[in-house]
Structure 1
């Protein structure tokens, strides 16, 4: 038997990212219905590729091979979420998703490539491109997600909680380190909105 070569550090990082992508796909029961496949993940680049094989129940007609638009949107959502989760190491639910359908999505499978554009402490932005088996672009999506707080509290969040909060008694610092206002909504301490 030939000796097995040791993995390089780069190969190990890629494998860890792919393991995280698979965990994100497996975490949601809805994905059992879709049956997406983790194809590639790169945490440093914030990029993932997810495949979705065609099945009749995912189509617009029983005798066709065209994916339903809702299935395409679901693929964009899960790929975008997974890209942010792989990049940040945290669960990151989608809070906004916009999709443009460019042509009918036909064929035996679709491939979604999601790339994180920016991952801040409270908001991440991601682009998703969905291609058919021939490589034609069938849909593009842009989403925003809210990465969950770190599992361990950050010391700066505790320090910020001790400071006066701009004279507004309705604002308090949550344990996640984000500003919460009872009348305005959620704001991040590092947000530019």
Structure 2
């Protein structure tokens, strides 16, 4: 990916991610961060349960994890997050109670629009959901 800013170290990205109270509540931890992908762990909470007898994780939590991982993957690849223009989620199976891992990747880093994707994995490593989004990109003016 030409024109990328050097990726920030994982600790720096985690510090930036955890500035958001929502991200802190999700207890997001960076497992891996470089220009090619971002891996995060989210610590499961009882409040995530959708109320069924299996305590499956609510789809809204899963969707939020997908969107934020894709967005922060953009930050790892290009140095800054970007507003979401559109995001689609495909739920593949219920997310049972337990920590979740979410992996975000940039598909195309553009000058005005960037495309990224993410997947959520349950504690057994099974893919729970995938998502793909379009993000507004901002290029810095020269000078």
TM-score by length of 1: 0.65
Deviations 1:120-168 (A, max 9, x none): 1111111111111111111010011113443xx315xxxxxxxxxxxxx
Native 8 Å contact 2:117 2:130 kept in 1: yes
Root mean square deviation of aligned Cα: 2.0
Shift of 1:73: 0.5
Q: Could you tell me how far 1:109 is from its partner in structure 2?
A: 1.0
1:24/1:96 CA distance change after superposition, 3 Å = farther
Alignment of 1:17-56 (within 5 A): 17-43=9-35, 45=36, 47-56=37-46
Describe the SS at the equivalent of 2:69: helix
State the match for 2:81 in structure 1.
91
Mapping for residues 140-155 of structure 1, pairs under 5 Å? 140-150=130-140, 153-155=141-143
Tell me which stretches of 4 or more aligned residues in structure 1 moved more than 4 Å.
none
Supply the distance in 2 between the matched residues of 1:139 and 1:37 (Cα, whole angstroms): 19
User: Residues 33-182 of structure 1 correspond to what in structure 2 (within 5 A)?
Assistant: 33-43=25-35, 45=36, 47-61=37-51, 64-150=54-140, 153-155=141-143
Q: CA deviation at 1:48?
A: 0.2
Q: Give 1:24 deviation, angstroms.
A: 3.5
Query: Any unmatched runs of 5+ in structure 2?
Result: 1-5
Per-residue deviation, 1:17: 3.0
Question: How far is 1:96 from its partner?
Answer: 1.1
Q: Number of aligned pairs?
A: 138
Unaligned runs of 5+ in 1: 1-12, 156-193
Q: Could you state the TM-score of these two structures normalised by the residue count of structure 2?
A: 0.86
CA distance in 2, matches of 1:90, 1:121: 13
Question: Which segment drifts farther, 66-75 or 18-27?
Answer: 18-27
Report SS of the residue matched to 1:115: strand
CA distance in 2, matches of 1:58, 1:51: 15
